[in-house]
Chains A and B, each alone.
Chain A
Amino acid sequence: DIVMTQTPLSLPVTPGEPASLSCRSSQSLFDGDDGNTYLDWYLQRPGQSPQLLIYTLSHRAPGVPDRFSGSGSGTDFTLKISRVEAEDVGLYYCMQRMEFPWTFGQGTKVEIK
């Protein structure tokens, strides 16, 4: 199975400041056949179901604010929040869809300082 490792596990942030979350995979998530990188990002706010933020490396899901962006390549990936807002607190997960079984990272908890 592909192992997904997220860092840091906890990230205190200041509203209005940028934030950066990392995710690393044990194997490349780049599919040379179609040129896609199968890495998604999810946010789970307290008491809610997860919601999709970014899919296939860098595509924002409909309705997701443009302060969220995804980047990276191969095995190293980053989710950036350009200016953190209070509503951004919660658990952030990366997930790989490159091969079965799909696997999630353990999550990064973002909280306001």
Chain B
Amino acid sequence: EVRLVQSGAEVRKPGESLKISCEGSGYSFTDSWIGWVRQTPGKGLEWMGNIYPGDADTRYSPSFQGHVTLSADKSTGTVYLQWSSLRASDSGIYYCARKTGGFHGWGQGTLVSVSS
């Protein structure tokens, strides 16, 4: 069974850093792109970017480029989404999803709350 398990909810202050994770299992980790999608009440679903764990190739949405970093650890089958300096507007639910002709297989979501 293909599974993506994400790390738990986080609470941070503006300016702080954060790294959340998404661990894949039940498939060849290095052979599928993993995407990240943010969900907020105001903007709905937003595609942030994709990473190919096999060679760490990445694609970023211009809306998020330079503000977040995607990375992958092949030894643990885990991909990461990180911020060096959070903003209040980064609050939302973050999903990882495996791309196999569309995003088929989503993590359970990680709630990120950023508030002073």
Contacts and interface: CB of A to CB of B under 8 A. Distances in A.
Interface residues of B, number: 21
Main secondary structure of the interface of B (DSSP, over half): strand
A78 B12 CA distance: 41
Contacts, number: 53
A101 B105 CA distance: 20
Nearest to A36: B101
Given A50-B97, A95-B47, A101-B62, 14 more contacts: A40-B102, A42-B103, A49-B95, A50-B45, A50-B103, A50-B106, A51-B106, A56-B102, A59-B101, A93-B44, A95-B102, A101-B61, A102-B47, A104-B47
A101 B108 contact: no
A52 interface: yes
Interface of B: 35, 37, 44-47, 59, 61-63, 95, 97, 101-109
Interface in A43-82: 49-52, 54-56, 59, 61-62
Contacts of A49: 95, 106-109
